[in-house]
Amino acid sequence: SSIMKRIIILSLLCSGFGIVSCQNANSDKPMETNTKTKQPMETSYNKTDEEWKKTLTAEQYDILRKKGTEYPGTGKYNKHFEKGFYTCAGCGQELFSSDQKFDSHCGWPSFDGEIGGGNRVKKVPDYSHGMVRTEIVCARCGGHLGHIFDDGPTATGMRYCVNSLSLGFKPASGDSAKK
């Protein structure tokens, strides 16, 4: 009947909107790296592709240099709330403070700002996968970090959704380093 058709259509529409939220946060599969539409970032850190392969794990290389995405909820820093600084896994540059981190429940580490007032994380338009998003990359080495969204729950309204494999961590010094 027509009521049943409307319910089915409404259900499909709601499902579709949920899929694109937070880079498919509820998906059981990682976002596919499509080398035809997602070209590796130019190595601006004076390293060749072969040098990157020697200094990064295969998983880090896929994320940082090929713009891959790790499985949601599996990253080392997703539920990590120690005091300190999150660094680029490619070059070591400090990118985010633990004070900027929050639990967005999307499956990836999330931050509401960045260190350095915008000069350490570069924003790049991303039109891949049929979406319009803003990719974030390390301004020093060009490593892919993730994406930024304007749906954050904090005062900044921003949510830097970052792959754990793109990050390193430097604990704060002192006895009160744990949060």
Please pick, among 22, 91, 106, 161, the residue that the annotation labels catalytic. 161
111: which 2 tokens?
């931050």
Question: What separation in angstroms does the CA of 144 have from each of 33, 39, 119, 128, 139?
Answer: 12, 11, 15, 14, 10
Helix (H) or strand (E) holding 53: helix 49-55
How far apart are the two ends of the chain, measured CA to CA in Å?
56
- To the query of whether residue 161 is one of the catalytic residues in this protein, the response is yes
Q: Residue 14: phi, psi to the nearest 5?
A: -60, -40
Enzyme catalytic residues: 161
